[in-house]
Chain A
Amino acid sequence: MAKVVIDNVRKVYPNGTEALSPSSLSIEDGEFIVLVGPSGCGKSTLLRMIAGLEDITEGTISIGERVVNALDPAERDIAMVFQNYALYPHMSVYKNMAYGLKNRGMPKADIDAAVQKAAKLLHIEEFLARKPSQLSGGQRQRVAMGRAIVRDPALFLFDEPLSNLDAKLRNQMRIEIRKLQRELGVTSIYVTHDQIEAMTMADRIAVLNTGKIEQIGTPAQIYHTPASIFVASFMGAPPMNILDGHYNGNGGLEIKDLGHVAVDHTLEVTGDIQVGIRPENVEIHQAEEPHTIPIKVDFLEELGAGRLLHTTIGNTPFIAHLDNEHQINGETVFAHLPARALHLFDASTGRRV
C-alpha cells in the first residue's frame, strides 16, 4: 500500500521516439487509476517505467516514500498483470503463483499459505495442479491475477489485462478486479484503451494523447467537464458531437448551420470556437418550438435501451440519443441544444474555454 508520485517523467526510446513528454501524476494510497488513450499514446510506456521494465529518461518515480528509478523490477514491491497473461507454460498454476515468492526465499509453508489463500479468493483452487495450456482464457486471467496477489505488493500494474477476453467475461472480470482491489486496498494503475473499462473501474482517470496527459480526473469530471476536444470525443459512446462556431463576446454564440445560441457566461476568448454536445443532451421535439432547429432524420439506430438518431448538420455527422418513450414521426424533427449542456473549446488549441 503506497502513494505513487510520478514527477516530470519523460521517455525517449533509443531510436529517438519521444513516447512520453514530461508528465506528472500523483496517486493516492489505495487509489485505482486508469490510464486511457488511443493506441500508441504512451500508456504502456509509462506503466513499464513504473514497473522498472523500461529506463526512465528524465524525472523521478517514487513508490511509497522510495524513489525507484534505479531499482530492479523485483525490488520495487510491485506486481504486474500482462495482456497475454505471461504465465510460465511449463509450470503448474501453483508453481506459477509460487515462483516469485520462492525467489524471495520465503519459507515453503508461507508460500503454500499465500498461494492457497489467493487461489481461494479467485476460485481457482481446483486448477492448481494444471498447466496454463489446460485452462480457458478467463481462468488464465485469474491465475495471472493470483500471481500478482500472492506477492502482496504495494502497487498493482495492469496492462490491458482483459483485452483477450470475450465481452461477457470482460464485464464480469472488470467487476471482479475492482471488487478485489477494494478488498485488498492495494494502489493500482490500470492501462486500457477501452473507455468503458476506464469509466467503470477508475477512481480517477488519466487520459493520454500522443505522449501527453490531457486530463486527470474522476470519471464524472472527465465525462462532464472534458478539458479538451480530444478528451471530449474520446470518452463517451457514441462520442460527443462537435460543431464549428463563432463567439463575438457579449454572450453571442453562433453555431455554424444552426444559428444563434444564448450562453449565460462570458467567455475569455473571442473568435472561432468548437461547440460540443453529448448525444443524450440533445432535446428532440416533434413540433417546432422556440430555440429549436429543424433536422432531417437520416436513420435510427436501435440500441434496445433507447435509439440513436443520426443526421448531419452542415457536413458534420450529428447524433442524438432518444429514450424509448420518445416517438418519432416523419422525416423532420426539431432539435434543441440546451446552453447548459454545451462544451466550448478553443478552436486553435482544442482546450476547454
Chain B
Amino acid sequence: MSSSDLQAPTSTTIATASAAAARKKPFALRQIIDHVVLIAGSLFMLVPVLMAFFTSSHTDVTVHTNGLQMTFGGHLAENYYEAMLVPGGFTKTVDGMRMLMNSFILGIGFSVGKIIISMLAAYAIVYFQFRFATLAFWAIFTTLLLPLEVRILPSYEIVQGMGLVNTYTGLIVPLIASATGTFFFRQFFKSVPNELIEAARIDGAGPVKFFIDILVPLSKTMIAAIFIIMFVFGWNQYLWPTIMTTDESFFTLVRGIKQILNVFIGAQIPEYGQAMALAIVAMVPPVLVVVIFQSWFVKGLVESDK
C-alpha cells in the first residue's frame, strides 16, 4: 500500500539519526527540534492518507454515522471489489478498472506526448538557426505564465468543433504543448558539448539520426525527470477531463471519486467506502512512478558524464 511505502523511509531515517545523536550528545536541542519538525511534517502528510485507507475498510453506514475512521474496519475486500469491479455511476457502465485504465491512458498519453513535443521543439530551437528562433522560444516561454484554465474555453470550442468531445484524442492532445518541458530540454541541449555534435556530423549522422541516436539517449535522465512530473500532473487532471468527457466510459479515477460521492439515488447513503477505496487506488500509480523513475533518474545522474 502507498501509505506504508511512504512511511518506511521516514521512520528509518529518524531512527538512525536519533541513534547517532544519542551516542554523541544526549540533549542536542537542535536535533530534537529538527526531528519534531520532520515528524510533524510527516504526520501532516501521512495521516490523511492513513485515514482514507482505514475509512475504505468500513461500511458506508458506519462512515455516514460516525465520520472518518482511524481503525481497521474489516470490509476492505468488499469495498475494493465493489469500487473496482462492479459497474457504477448513473448508467451502470463504468467500473473502477475502466477508470484506472482511462487514468493510465491520460497520464501516459499526457506525459509521453509532452515529452515528444517539447523535445522536438527544443531540438528545433537549439540546433537549427532559423529566423525568429529566439522569438519562438520566448513566445513558448511566455505561455508558461498562462495556465490551462485561461484558455479552456477557446480550447473547448476548437476541440468540440473538430468533433473530438468524448474521445481520447480530445482529452489528451490539447494538453500536450508544454512550455516547461521545452524550456528544460532547451537548457539541457545547450549543455551538450559542441564537439559531440561535430563528431556526429563527421560520423555521417544527419539531423534525424543525431536526434535519435545521440540526443535522446543522452537525455535519458532528463526524460525520466520530466516523465515523473508530467505523469503525476496528467494523472491528477480534473477540470479538462470534466469538460471534455461527458460519456462515463471515459471517466478517470480522479473524476470517478467525485461521481460516486455525488450519487444519491433515492435515499441511499453515498458510497463512502468505495470513494475512499478509489482514492487509495488513484494514489498508487503516481507513487509507483515516482519511486521507480526516481531510482532511474538518480542512476542516470550518477552514471552519465557528458
Contacts and interface: CB of A to CB of B under 8 A. Distances in A.
B217 interface: yes
A74 B201 contact: yes
Interface in B200-255: 200-205, 209, 213-214, 217-218, 220
Nearest to A48: B198
B23 interface: no
B214 A88 contact: yes
Contacts of A82: 195, 198-199
Contacts of A147: 199, 203
A38 to B, nearest CB: 22
Interface stretch (B36-44, B177-185, B298-306): B298-306
Nearest to B203: A100
A103 B205 contact: yes
A324 interface: no
B214 A84 contact: no
B201 A103 contact: no
B193 interface: yes
B152 interface: no
Nearest to B195: A86
A78 B202 contact: yes
B93 to A, nearest CB: 47
Contacts of B19: none
Given A99-B213, A103-B209, A86 B304 contact: no
A159 to B, nearest CB: 9
B292 interface: no
B249 to A, nearest CB: 42
Interface in A45-90: 51-53, 72-74, 78-80, 82-90
A283 B195 CA distance: 49
A90 B221 CA distance: 12
B204 A89 contact: no
Nearest to B304: A89
B139 to A, nearest CB: 24
B196 interface: yes
A80 B209 contact: no
A97 to B, nearest CB: 10
A79 B196 CA distance: 14
A86 B217 contact: no
A86 B199 contact: yes
Given A84-B193, A86-B196, A89-B305, A74 B202 contact: yes
A245 B193 CA distance: 50
A104 interface: yes
A53 B203 contact: no
A248 interface: no
A53 B202 CA distance: 8
A-B complex: 8 closest residue pairs judged by Cβ atoms: A74-B204, A100-B203, A86-B195, A103-B204, A86-B199, A90-B217, A73-B202, A82-B195
19 contacts: A53-B201, A53-B202, A79-B202, A80-B199, A80-B202, A82-B195, A83-B195, A85-B195, A86-B193, A86-B195, A89-B306, A90-B218, A90-B220, A91-B217, A99-B205, A100-B202, A103-B205, A133-B303, A147-B203
Interface of B: 193, 195-196, 198-205, 209, 213-214, 217-218, 220, 303-306
Given A74-B202, A84-B193, A133-B304, 13 more contacts: A52-B202, A53-B202, A74-B204, A74-B205, A82-B199, A86-B196, A89-B305, A90-B218, A90-B220, A99-B205, A99-B213, A103-B205, A103-B209
